[in-house]
Amino acid sequence: MKQITLNYAKPFTGKLGAEVCGREVIYFPIKEFYQRTILLAFAFVLFSPFAFAQNGTVTGTVSGADGVMQAATITAGKTSVLTDNDGRFSLSLNPGNYTLVITHTGYKEVMQEMTIENGNTKTIEVSLIPSGDLGEVVVLGSRSLVQRSNLNTACRFNASKQPCLCKVAGK
């Protein structure tokens, strides 16, 4: 049984002549070797990003009672993003199981379980429900009895107690 080999796999043999005393000399095809090495290196560089692409993507839109929700927060693990002006978002995550938490001021929090796979893109549509009251905000303020232009040092001020008395320059 005869073994078949490709022409470029065989080393070239030939005689050089009198300078090597008539011995048979084997040549290694250097030019072909470099061409194939460069081609292989180029193919590796070209296709390696696809081989190492290990993230999945979650995209979607967040809407509420008034339409799309600008600046809603989408959180998955330690990664958070905000929606854009059109309520859209895109989140790149490593493969695994995640709980997406979608929040916006004045709306109830939404939690959604999701499994992310290598190189896949999942699209979700989320509708937020208004929560009703935002709660109460109390702002307290007071004014010092001493004119500020007469102060030469900082003084502590506690609004729940009597106004502070600070030393006034020149008095």
Domain boundaries along the sequence of the chain: 7-51, 56-127, 138-171
Mean predicted lDDT score pLDDT of the chain = 77
Q: What is the pLDDT of residues 90-134, one digit of tens each?
A: 999 988 999 999 999 889 999 999 999 888 899 999 999 998 777
Determine the topology of domain 56-127 in CATH.
Immunoglobulin-like (2.60.40)
Q: Is 110 exposed, middle or buried (0-12, 13-18, 19+ CB in 10 A)?
A: middle
Share of the chain above pLDDT 70, in %: 64
Cα atoms found within 13 Å of the Cα of residue 88, Cβ hemisphere only = 4
Per-residue pLDDT for 17 more than 60?
A: no
Nearest to 70 by CA among 58, 81, 57: 81
- Per-residue pLDDT averaged across 65-84, rounded? 92
Residue 10 contacts by C-beta under 8 Å, 6 or more apart in sequence?
Answer: none
pLDDT, residue 123, reads: 94
What share of residues in the chain are helix, strand, coil (percent, to 5)? Answer: 20, 35, 45
30-35 contacts, C-beta under 8 A, 24 or more apart: 32/8
pLDDT, residue 18, reads: 41
